[in-house]
Amino acid sequence: MACLRIQCITAIVAIIGFALPCTKALPAAAHPHPCAQAAPPQTQLDLNSTVLAVQARPWGLAYLNDNIAFAAINFSIGVLDTSQFAPKLMHMLPLPPAFLIGNDDPNADGYGLREMTLTHDKENLYVATGYGAIILDVPRALQGRNDSFVGVLSHDGYAGRSAIEASITADDKFAFISQEYGSNVTHNLGAIEVYKITRQQNRTVTSTWKGFIGLGFRTIGQQFSTDQSRLFVTSEINGTARSLNQTGGLISVLDVETLKAKPARSLIKNVPGGCHPVRSTLSIDGKQLWVSTRESNQVLAFDTDKLADETTADPLLAQVDTGTAPLGITAIRDYIFVADSNRWNYSDTTAGVSVVNIGDALRKGYVNFPQIPTSAFPRTVVASPSGNTLLVSEFDAASIRAVDISSLSAS
- For residue 302, give the CATH number of its domain: 2.130.10.10
In a domain, 259, yes or no: yes
Residue 395 lies in a domain: yes
Task: State the pLDDT at residue 10.
Answer: 31
Q: Tens of pLDDT along 146-171?
A: 999 999 999 999 999 899 999 999 99
User: What is the pTM (predicted TM-score) of this model?
Assistant: 0.90
Using an 8 Å Cβ cutoff, are 67 and 120 in contact? no
Mean pLDDT value of segment 44-48:
95
Return the pLDDT at 102.
86
C-beta neighbour count of 143 within 10 angstroms: 12
Does residue 379 sit within a domain? yes
Could you tell me if 121 and 64 are in contact, meaning their C-beta atoms sit under 8 angstroms apart? no
Nearest to 384 by CA among 69, 78, 26, 8: 69
- Residue 219 to residue 233: CA distance in whole angstroms: 7
The mean pLDDT of 242-254, rounded to a whole number, is 73
Find residue 331's DSSP bridge partners: 336
Least confident of 144-153, 244-253, 314-323, 394-403: 244-253
- The yes-or-no verdict on residue 59 having pLDDT over 90 is yes
Range with the lowest mean pLDDT among 198-202, 226-230, 294-298, 371-375? 294-298
pLDDT at 108 over 70: no
Q: What is the mean pLDDT of residues 227-242?
A: 86
Confidence (pLDDT) at 365: 81
Least confident of 21-30, 71-80, 303-312, 352-361: 21-30
pLDDT tens column, 134-149: 999 999 999 999 999 9
Question: Cβ contacts of residue 45 below 8 Å, gap of 6+?
Answer: 355, 370, 371, 372
- The residue with greater pLDDT, 23 or 410, is 410
Reported as a pLDDT band with limits 50, 70 and 90, residue 36 is: confident
Would residue 409 count as lying in a domain? no
The one-letter amino acid at 327: L
Q: Mean pLDDT score of the chain, rounded to an integer? A: 88
CA-CA-CA-CA torsion sign (389, 395, 397, 399)? positive
pLDDT of residue 23: 28
What's the confidence (pLDDT) of residue 26? 34
Q: Could you tell me the sign of the dihedral formed by the alpha carbons of 278, 135, 155, 227, in that order?
A: negative
Our count of domains for the chain comes to 1
Question: Per residue in 206-224, pLDDT tens?
Answer: 999 999 999 999 999 999 9
308-335 mean pLDDT: 94
The answer to whether residue 410 sits within a structural domain is: no
Q: Closest by alpha carbon to 372, among 408, 333, 332, 348?
A: 408
Does the residue 411 lie in any domain?
no
Give CA–CA dist 237/66, Å, rounded.
37
- Give me the mean pLDDT over the 53-57 stretch: 93
Full residue range of the structural domain in which residue 216 is found: 6-404
Per-residue pLDDT for 17 more than 60?
no
Question: Any residues with CB less than 8 A from the CB of 7 and at least 6 apart, and which?
Answer: none
| pLDDT of 107 | 63
Identify the pLDDT of residue 24: 28
Q: What is the mean pLDDT of residues 224-251?
A: 82
Say yes or no to pLDDT of 245 above 60.
Answer: no
Query: Looking at the predicted structure, is the pLDDT value of residue 111 above 50?
Result: yes
- Tens of pLDDT, residues 119-130: 999 999 999 999
